[in-house]
Amino acid sequence: MKRLLPAEVETLWTLFTAPVVWAGHFVICYVAVAIYCEKALVWDVDFDHVRLALGLFTLLALAMIVLSAYLAWRQWGFGSGEPPHSGPTDRDRRRFQGFATLLLSGLSFVAVFYTAIPLIFIAGCHL
Amino acid sequence: MPPFRLAHQGKTCSDSPRSHARLRAVALVFLLSAALSSCSGIQSALDPAGPEAEDVATLFYVMLVGGAAIWVGVVGTLFYATRVRREPHSERTAGWVILLCGAVGPVFILGALLTYAVWLLPNMRPWTAPGEEGGLRQIEVTGEQFWWRVRYLDASGGVLLETANEIIMPVGERVLFSLNAPDVIHSFWIPSLGGKMDVIPGRINRIALEASKAGVYRGVCAEFCGASHALMAFTVEVLEAEAFDAWLQQRLAADGSSGADGLGLFLRHGCGACHTIAGTQADGKIGPNLTALGARGSIAAGTLPNTQDNIARFIRSPGEIKPGVHMPSFAMLPEGDVETIAAYLKGLE
């Protein structure tokens, strides 16, 4: 398992991973449905297929966020120390970043889930 | 609170707790009555007269209860922290409170409210697929600055009749409104019947509404569109099926050729270049259709009661009644001519 996971690298980019997945999911969901609804009369694709595809994409996005959260948890030292990690040391800086990334991953997970709720109930385009 | 002094009595209000309490009670009743007055009437989303509007009202009440529960929780916590227990909790307990009440709780409460709202959405805005609207009565509504052009369409999409600032519709029948605008964005909203729909230049938006109760309602423009945006309303009259058919036949047969003096002046002063009156030479398309104007409840898009005096006022100085209106002032016409034209228009039915 550990071999499959990327090695711990100290970069600020890991902090942005989950919010970037959230942003990408949001944009793709809205753009995909907007284009589909505009082309619904031209394309011979059922709306349920679009919902299903976006549902699978949502699961993929959630899985990526969970992975990001796991890496953040690891960076945080699996919760071995209490926040706020405010000491002027390399260790505290890593722990702080890990903790912040974990919180952002939680926020992104909920946001992606909220974005996907309409897929459950909205069954067609409103033209 | 510093006591304020009643000069003529030389007493302070804080001297009399009873008068204080009475003042508070009066203020509360006043505020409540002001708030409750918006729960009914011809333009209230909380007094629904159609299935979509009922769902909108239900959603409002559910959100209100949800919001009130959150408010009680927050204020209760504040009360607990400042009045019940003033000593600090342990950091561990505080951490749990923040996690549960600041993160987990809101996620579930907001998730539940969001899910409910999205679940209700298809009912609030029933979807009519292209090609499925054949059986529905269609009305084309054009948002102009600052009035509504209303065209009843026949089954083939041709214009059956045109009117302005009034929509007459049958009870218990779904009507499909096609919305468009030539100038700026407006929004078509009949709060008693359902949600609003934007009216966008270069695009036809559609909304299907059904009225379940006969009566007179008020619709408005709900998107700021210029100086007289607030004066861009319309009347919605929901009639029983037979009464609606009778109205339709009467309106189709409307003829403005009687009242020769008024019609003559109307045409001579060029009013017909912008306005149409069925059965006459007046066939202008720029301004509102004035056929059967006398039968409408109001003039100038819901701005003034429909009286002869008000029609004359509007002819003389439309810009004073509706700032930014495209119709020029006709104050230069002889007073008698304006009165005769106003009497003629008021008599059109």
If asked whether residues B289 and B327 sit together in one domain, one would say yes
* More confidently predicted of B11 and A116: A116
Query: Chains A, B: CB contacts under 8 A, how many?
Result: 32
Q: What is the CA radius of gyration of chain B?
A: 27
Residue after which a domain boundary falls, among B242, B277, B312: B242
Residue B153 has pLDDT above 70, yes or no: yes
Q: Domain for residue B13, yes or no?
A: no
Which of A41, A114, A122 comes nearest B122 by C-beta?
A122
Q: In this structure, is residue B26 part of a structural domain?
A: no
Q: Residues B95, B137: one domain?
A: no
Sign of the C-alpha dihedral, residues B219, B224, B229, B230?
A: positive
pLDDT band at A26 (very low <50, low <70, confident <90, very high): very high
Averaged over B101-120, what is the pLDDT?
Answer: 91
Share of chain B above pLDDT 70, in %: 88
pLDDT at B2 over 50: no
pLDDT at B25 over 80: no
B181 versus B10: which is more confidently predicted? B181
| Top mean-pLDDT range of A83-92, B5-14, B200-209 | B200-209
| Residue B229 scores a pLDDT above 80 | yes
The ipTM value here is 0.84
CB contact under 8 A, B121 and A110: no
CA angle B200, B201, B203 (to 5 degrees): 70
Interface of B with A (CB under 8 A): 103, 107, 110-111, 114-115, 118-119, 121-122, 125, 127, 129-130, 206
Task: Residue window 51-110, chain A: list those with CB within 8 Å of chain B.
Answer: 106, 110
Q: Is there a contact between B162 and B276 (Cβ–Cβ < 8 Å)? A: yes
Q: Return the residue of A nearest to B117 by Cα.
A: A118
Strands B166-170 and B233-239, bridge-based pairing? parallel
Chain B residue numbers touching A117 (CB-CB < 8 A): 111, 114-115, 118
How far does Cα B257 stand from its chain's mean position? 34
Q: Does B73 reside within a domain?
A: yes
To the nearest whole Å, the CA of B65 is away from the closest chain A CA by: 21
SS3 B23: helix
The pLDDT value given to residue A37: 87
- Is the pLDDT reported for residue A126 higher than 90? no
The residue of chain B with its CA nearest to that of A121 is: B119
Determine, yes or no, domain membership for B33.
Answer: no
Task: Give chain B positions within 8 Å (CB) of A106.
Answer: 103
Enumerate the residues of chain B whose CB falls inside 8 A of the CB of residue A33.
none
Identify whether residues B208 and B292 lie together within a single domain: no
- Residue B166 sits in a domain whose CATH number is 2.60.40.420
Instruction: Write out pLDDT tens, residues B39-68.
Output: 668 999 999 999 999 999 999 999 999 899
| Residues spanned by the domain of B266 | 260-347
Mean pLDDT over residues B83-88, rounded?
86
What integer is the mean pLDDT of B117-132? 76
Give CA separation, A16 vs A68, A76, A84, A111, B107, in Å. Answer: 10, 16, 20, 15, 21
Count of domains in chain B?
3
Partners of A110 on chain B (C-beta within 8 Å) are 107, 111
In chain B, which residues have their Cβ closer than 8 Å to the Cβ of A122?
Answer: 118, 121-122
Least confident of A75-89, B96-110, B167-181, B278-292: A75-89
Overall average pLDDT of the B2-16 stretch: 44
Interchain CB contact of A126 with B (< 8 Å): yes
Q: How confident is the model at residue A22, as a pLDDT?
A: 97
Instruction: Check whether B13 has a pLDDT greater than 50.
Output: no
Residue B43 lies inside a defined structural domain of this protein: no
B36 falls within a domain: no
Beta-carbon separation of B118 and A118 below 8 A: yes
| Best mutation target, B96, B99, B115, B203, to test chain A (most A CBs within 10 A) | B115
Is residue B19 assigned to a domain? no
Q: How many Å apart are CA B286 and CA B175, to the nearest integer?
A: 26
A contact residues 1-40, partner B, Cβ 8 Å cutoff: none
A114 and B127 within 8 Å at the Cβ level: the answer is: no
Q: Is a pLDDT exceeding 70 seen at residue A103? A: yes
Tell me what percent of the residues of chain A surpass a pLDDT of 90.
54
Higher-scoring residue by pLDDT: B86, A36: A36
Q: Which long-range contacts (CB under 8 A, 24 or more apart) does B339-343 make?
A: B339/B308, B339/B312, B340/B261, B340/B262, B340/B265, B341/B262, B341/B265, B341/B266, B341/B269, B341/B271, B341/B311, B341/B312, B341/B315, B342/B308, B342/B309, B342/B311, B342/B312, B342/B315, B343/B259, B343/B262, B343/B308
Q: DSSP letter string over B158-218?
A: -EEEEEESEEEEETT--EEEEEEBSSS-EEEE-TTT---EEE-BT--EEEEE--SS-EEEE
For residues B144 and B231, membership in a common domain is answered with yes
* pLDDT tens digits, B286-298: 999 999 999 998 9
Please tell me whether residues B161 and B234 are part of one structural domain: yes
Residue numbers in A near B111 (CB within 8 A)? 110, 113-114, 117
Q: How confident is the model at residue B323 (pLDDT cuts 50, 70, 90)?
A: very high
Kindly state whether residues B163 and B107 are assigned to the same domain: no
Mean pLDDT, residues A54-69: 96
Decide if pLDDT at B7 tops 50. Answer: no
Which residues of chain A neighbour B107 with C-beta distances below 8 Å? 110
Query: Residue A88's pLDDT band (boundaries 50, 70, 90)?
Result: confident
Q: How far apart (Å, rounded) are the C-alpha atoms in residues B279 and B348? A: 11
Cβ neighbours of B116 in A, within 8 Å? none
pLDDT at A38: 85
Residues of A in contact with B125 (CB under 8 A): 126
Average pLDDT over residues B30-46: 71
Mean pLDDT, residues B114-139 taken together: 79
Cα–Cα dist B19/B118, whole Å = 49
Q: How many CA atoms lie within 13 A of B340 on its CB side?
A: 16
Q: In angstroms, what separates the C-alpha of A98 from chain B's closest C-alpha? A: 18
Comparing CB atoms, the residue among A41, A106, A114 nearest residue B130 is A41
Q: What is the mean pLDDT of chain B?
A: 88
